[in-house]
Amino acid sequence: MANLKEIRNRISSVGSTMQITSAMKMVSAAKLKKAQDAITAMRPYSDKLTELLQGLSATLDGDSGSVFAEQREVKNVLVVAITSNRGLCGAFNTNVIKTSNRIVATTFADKKVSFVTVGKKGNDILKKNHYVTHNNNEIFDDLTFDNVAELAERLMTLYKEGTYDKIVLVYNHFKNAATQVVLTEDFLPIKPLETEDVNTSADYIFEPSKEEIIETLIPKSLKTQLYKAIRDSFASEHGARMTAMHKATDNAAALKAELTLTYNKARQAAITNEILEIVGGAEALNN
């Protein structure tokens, strides 16, 4: 059994760790509230805008549609992996990396795949086994629509120039503070809705033409889609970190209680031994 000093040191160390994890949990909880409000507010707008553009694209002739809706043979694929700059958030980053590796090995097994990373953790791992063309760690330093729009414009240019035939987003979708679901979402080309889903399009009068509306709104829609994905991931990160720190705090508290019990047992055993030694010494003197 360890001596009393060693046990006291361990109890002190675990107590300090518990204070740190508890503080990190509270910080993440505060940040989560703001991030959750932001993603909840923009989801309906983003989803409706995407649905509208998909519906319009489905009603256009092949030659009159946007280049961003052009379906071509997929040879070169770009995967945008969205992780975080910091760790201590459970399996948040690992799940994105695993999903990215899986789709490379299965869905795009016969394609040439490149990566663009958003977040330092994903970049550090993926660049070991894949070709990462660019990383965007600085986005989380100031997460605004304008900063994300620059990345979206770069992705649109790469697709428009034919560098890539398909661009896919991989990120954590925020469900609640304890649950994050990894999504694989097509970014480009835009997928039109099925014909039966857009039968009501004839009820609308378009001014200016559908073509002009699409050319104006598609870039905005794509920027909004990417911003929503990064915002989703940002909220998921704080939810995952809050949950991880909550579990770490509970584990530290349990370990501290166990060490305290061990310390009390060791202290009681030491006192008992001292008493036995005193009694034994007294008996020896009497004899």
Three-class HEC string of 146-190: HHHHHHHHHHHHHHHCCCCCEEEEEEEEEEECCEEEEEEEEEECC
On the question of pLDDT at 267 being above 60, the answer is yes
On the question of pLDDT at 53 being above 80, the answer is no
- Asked whether residue 287 is domain-assigned, the answer is no
- Asked whether residue 162 is domain-assigned, the answer is yes
- 70 and 190 both lie in a single domain: yes
- When divided into structural domains, the chain yields a total of 2
- Asked whether residue 154 is domain-assigned, the answer is yes
Q: Over the stretch 165-175, which tens digit does the pLDDT of each residue have? A: 999 999 999 98
The CATH number of the domain holding residue 207 is 3.40.1380.10
d(CA 267, CA 287): 30
- Asked whether residue 238 is domain-assigned, the answer is yes
- 94 and 149 both lie in a single domain: yes
- Asked whether residue 106 is domain-assigned, the answer is yes
- 110 and 170 both lie in a single domain: yes
- 114 and 48 both lie in a single domain: yes
User: How wide is the angle at C-alpha 158 spanned by C-alphas 153 and 159, nearest 5°?
Assistant: 100
**How high is the pLDDT of residue 198?**
47
- 44 and 168 both lie in a single domain: yes
**How high is the pLDDT of residue 40?**
86
Q: Does this model's pTM top 0.75?
A: yes
- Asked whether residue 266 is domain-assigned, the answer is yes
On the question of pLDDT at 190 being above 50, the answer is yes
- 94 and 126 both lie in a single domain: yes
Q: Over the stretch 92-114, which tens digit does the pLDDT of each residue have? A: 999 999 999 999 999 998 899 99
- 212 and 130 both lie in a single domain: yes
**How high is the pLDDT of residue 277?**
82
- 131 and 269 both lie in a single domain: no
Tokens of 65: 């549609």
- 128 and 258 both lie in a single domain: no
Could you list the residue range(s) of the whole structural domain that residue 119 is in?
Answer: 28-244
Q: How far is CA 63 from the centre of its chain?
A: 38
d(CA 163, CA 157): 9
